[in-house]
Amino acid sequence: MKLFEPTKHTDAGRQSGEGTMEDLKRIKVVTAHYHSLQGLRTLPFLIWVLLINITDAGEIMGIRGMGLDLRCLLVVPGLGLVWALSRWIGAYYDRAFGQVERLPSHRRSLEWLATILFGIIVFISIWIDGLLRLPVIVTSLVLAAAMAYFWWTSHRFLTHYLVLAAFLVGLALLPLLGVPIDGRWYDHFVSYVFILGVFIVVCVLNHIALVRNVKALSQVAS
Amino acid sequence: MTEAFEALAGLDKVVHEPARLALLTALSACRSADFLSLQRLTGLTKGNLSTHLSKLEEAGLVEIEKQFIGKKPNTLVRLTVEGRTAIEQHWQALERLHRDAQQWQVDGSQ
């Protein structure tokens, strides 16, 4: 299985119309996720939050003074930079890919419900990881389940979500291989850096998926 | 099998043309899309896209709104209620035909 692979039009597939049906489904999925596939839009904000948390982690680990100064620098000018970068990236997407307005929220009620449910489950899993110290990282398993669900609802076109899900399951099992699951680093890793890191990777992969899928669709048309 | 051929013959030609089917499919997954995004999603040239959109507008399946964003012209396209119904029914018919076609292959190979 290759990531972002365009539909192969085999003779048998052509006869049954499978290739065309797959392309139409791809168009539907890419259009429905057009905004979320523009992953670079949220990247500056996520990196900003990650930097704030890393400096916070630095302070916890005993690198005092530097953390505080860095945070002062990051909060005010950092936010301005995030805003400017996001605007610039947004303008790039509008210029290169055009604009798609998503379906009204009442037509996406299931999506909203899944997002709220996911948020609650992540919160509970962070709490479980911090409190119970199970031999697996529950947050990682929850994120893996969410990625797999997203892959499934995208008619299995957005393959990178499945690859990430497999990676997260592997990470979740690290404590079983002897990686220690106590100490403050673990709390920080699970609750902030880890989740933010996953979202940053998702954003970048989403952007690549958008570019590759649009390219694949234009090849089909030509 | 005769029923399937009748169903094939009964497909709306305005909707079933590949480029227009691609456009309507894209539009069914969103509230509205501008000209550039439709071009990217379907890979059509400007001229082709314009022609197909005009045909869909004439058939009452899409609404086209021309506006300016700053100084730049922007064409916004959205499905009408009739357009949304037409594409949903068309997809159901295609899925049905697809299932039937797979059934013929299974029967043929036995």
Spell out which chain A residues touch chain B, with contact meaning CB-CB distance below 8 angstroms.
16-18, 20-21, 23-24, 27-32, 34, 97-104, 214, 217-222
Confidence at residue B107, expressed as pLDDT on a 0 to 100 scale = 66
Distance (Å, whole) CA B24 – CA A101: 15
Distance (Å, whole) CA B39 – CA B23: 9
> What value does the mean pLDDT take over residues A24-39?
91
Summarised one tens digit per residue, pLDDT across range A116-132 is 898 899 889 988 887 88
- Which residue of B11, B36, B37 to mutate against A (max A Cβ within 10 Å)? B37
Q: In this structure, how many other beta carbons lie within 10 angstroms of the beta carbon of residue A17? A: 14
pLDDT tens, N- to C-terminus, chain B (110 residues): 556 666 666 677 888 888 999 999 999 999 999 999 999 999 999 999 999 999 999 999 999 999 888 888 889 999 999 999 999 999 888 888 878 777 776 666 65
Distance (Å, whole) CA A196 – CA A205: 14
Query: Has this prediction a pTM greater than 0.80?
Result: no
Place of tokens 């037509």: A107
Summarised one tens digit per residue, pLDDT across range A164-179 is 999 889 888 888 887 7
- Which residue of A11, A23, A29, A99 to mutate against B (max B Cβ within 10 Å)? A99
Q: Is the pLDDT higher at B2 or at A142?
A: A142
> What value does the mean pLDDT take over residues A109-119?
84
Summarised one tens digit per residue, pLDDT across range B8-21 is 666 778 888 889 99
ipTM > 0.85, yes or no:
no
Q: State the smallest CA–CA distance between residue A159 and chain B in angstroms.
A: 19
Contacts of B61 (CB under 8 A, 6+ apart): B14, B15, B24, B79, B80, B82, B83, B86, B87
Q: State the smallest CA–CA distance between residue B96 and chain A in angstroms.
A: 12
Confidence at residue B26, expressed as pLDDT on a 0 to 100 scale = 95
